[in-house]
Amino acid sequence: MTIDQHKSDLIAWLDQRFGDLSDWHQQIFDYGETAWREYRSSAWYVECLRAQGFEVESGSAGMPTAFCAEWRNGDGPTIGGYAEYDAVPGNCQAADTMQRPRDGLSVHAGGHTDPHSALGISSLGGFLAAKAMMERHDIKGRLKFLGEPAEKVRGSKPLHAAAGYYDDLDAAISFHPFYMLPLCNTTRWNTHCGVAYAMIYSFECGSPETWLTQANRNDSPIAASHASARAPGANDALIQMYLTSKSLKEHMVAAGCGWSMNECILTAGQATADNLPAQIAQIQYILRVPTIEMAERISALLDTNARAAADISHCSWRRDWVSKSRHGLANHVLAQVTYNNLQAVGAPQFNSGGARDKAREIQKSLGLEPMDQPFLAETEQLISPQQAEKELRRELPEWQQHFTSDDYTEYCWHAPTVRLYIARPALASPQAGYQYPAWVMNALGGIRETIDPMIDCAAKTIGCTIIDLLVDDKMLAAAQQEFVQRSGGGIGGKNWQAPLCDYDAPINFRWPEYVTTERGHSWWIP
């Protein structure tokens, strides 16, 4: 039987079982669990994969919501892929054509924006379809499917990489719904994602009574009486850190260095009375930069800011790493093979049937005139990786080799890796300059009629690419030869970048999450 016949069978298999993928996606979308707290989503994947015959390690690399699933049919190549399933706080949107949170939740709860819910189910569908073909046609090889939590803070993949989970891969497939043009219905060519560092700075005011020596301290049995001078404390340190680092960011971004730095406050306050200083405060930063050198330089400046903020606020400080992820490594062989499969499958189609009807309902709810072709034209068109690269480079300086960040890049240094983008549903603007509110994209990522075409296209492309990698020995050898060449000898080679992760999983911080109390199950912010 030929490779093309294997792929035809795989596509037919997915057509027959697509209802399951659609239902499964609805489940993960409704969970809407955020970074490091994806308990139900991870458990769902573990149960599903075990039911499908995979051996599954849950809690891999010290992460409670990560997993590693394996299935083997004799000796053959090991092909890796993964699911992401973390949502974003403050983006709770129902799969509906009007703005509203999911039932029983506040607007501050988590919601899928990219959507990772569909990312994971698409990849799962491709791997399950490949497994079915391996069983049906006795194709030899091994599938390795990982659960990657906390991608929004670049969390799990550096930890998995450092723990050796990618070292035995012969090739890997990374899929993401498109989020920017021209990377839509294509694969990345040369300019892969860059470096990301994320860290949490903690400030603690452990001895406020020592801030000033009180002349009459023996007059009061209470170390910090109401009339005593009060130490600035942790809140002041955090504010000083925030303002100083904001100035740093504004000056450096304005210089056009091709990077971004964003922050969020995880914990603030903890004061027990009005005359006591805040005991602890924490702020997280994430840097997205082209090179490791830039990340190290900015991190050193942030450390300097933290030290100064602590000194003037009578606090101690520490930095805990959340992520240190490497930049990507291109593989033209695998990028082209995957794009060839996408060409055979065809781009997803949105401007017809139920998807178009749902899009028009959204436009009507926004007071817009419903459009005959409401979806962005590019979502139904293919663009070759070479052409996408050419268009992407128009926006970048010649020296910059990497752009934006995503931690799939960790796979790139352990095996030939492809980065696949399939169009997610995105509406066309009714007039120049019009921008849809953010809830629209979130809703389109949950409505079956609008998101299912992407899941279908991605699962088929991924499944067909796995078949190529398992059956076409010459192609896989060429991809591996390119990997060895680009890395200067493969893992450990002269150009190879070792994992940067030298920290434990940062799971014990006050990450936003769903909680169960006497009031029931709810988001942590009412």
Q: Residue 204: which CATH number?
A: 3.30.70.360
**Co-location of 385 and 426 in the same domain:** yes
**Co-location of 83 and 143 in the same domain:** yes
For residue 84, give both structure tokens: 């992401």
Would you tell me how many other CB atoms lie within 10 Å of the CB of residue 506? 22
pLDDT of res. 220? 59
| Cis before 115? omega within 30 | yes
In a domain, 42, yes or no: yes
pLDDT of res. 311? 95
Which CATH number do you get for residue 28?
3.40.630.10
Q: Beta-strand (E) ranges in 255-397?
A: 260-267, 280-289, 316-325
In a domain, 205, yes or no: yes
Strand partners, 201: 283, 319
79-93: burial string, b at 16+ Cβ within 10 Å, e else: bbbbbbbbbbbbbbb
In this predicted model, what pLDDT tens digit does every residue of 347-385 receive, in sequence order?
Answer: 999 988 899 999 999 999 999 999 999 999 999 999 999
Helices (H), ranges, 138-233: 156-162
Q: Is 340 helix (H, G, I), strand (E, B) or coil?
A: helix
In this predicted model, what pLDDT tens digit does every residue of 439-490 receive, in sequence order?
Answer: 999 999 999 999 999 999 999 999 999 999 999 999 999 999 999 999 998 8
- Average model confidence (pLDDT) for the chain? 93
Distance CA 113, CA 441 (A): 7
**Ramachandran angles phi, psi of 73, nearest 5°:** -125, 80
Distance CA 382, CA 348 (A): 9
**Co-location of 64 and 175 in the same domain:** yes
Number of domains composing the chain: 2
Q: Which residue has the tokens 């699911």?
A: 83
Q: Which residue has the higher pLDDT, 275 or 52?
A: 52
Residue 457: give the domain boundaries: 3-194+327-481
**Co-location of 185 and 62 in the same domain:** yes
Tell me whether residue 16 is exposed, middle or buried, using C-beta atoms within 10 angstroms of its C-beta: 0 to 12, 13 to 18, 19 or more. Answer: exposed
Distances (CA, A) of 492 to 5, 255, 413, 414: 39, 36, 10, 10
Q: Please name the residues in contact with 33: beta carbons below 8 A apart, sequence gap of 6 or more.
A: 39, 40, 41, 85, 86, 87, 110, 513, 514
pLDDT of res. 268? 73
- Do residues 98 and 447 make contact, with C-beta atoms less than 8 angstroms apart? no
**Co-location of 317 and 336 in the same domain:** no
User: Half-sphere exposure of 433 toward its Cβ, with a 13 Å CA cutoff?
Assistant: 0
In a domain, 492, yes or no: no
**Co-location of 280 and 317 in the same domain:** yes
pLDDT of res. 215? 45
- Do residues 186 and 345 make contact, with C-beta atoms less than 8 angstroms apart? no
**Co-location of 363 and 308 in the same domain:** no
In this predicted model, what pLDDT tens digit does every residue of 327-337 receive, in sequence order?
Answer: 999 999 999 99
Chain centre distance of CA 277: 37
**Co-location of 20 and 140 in the same domain:** yes
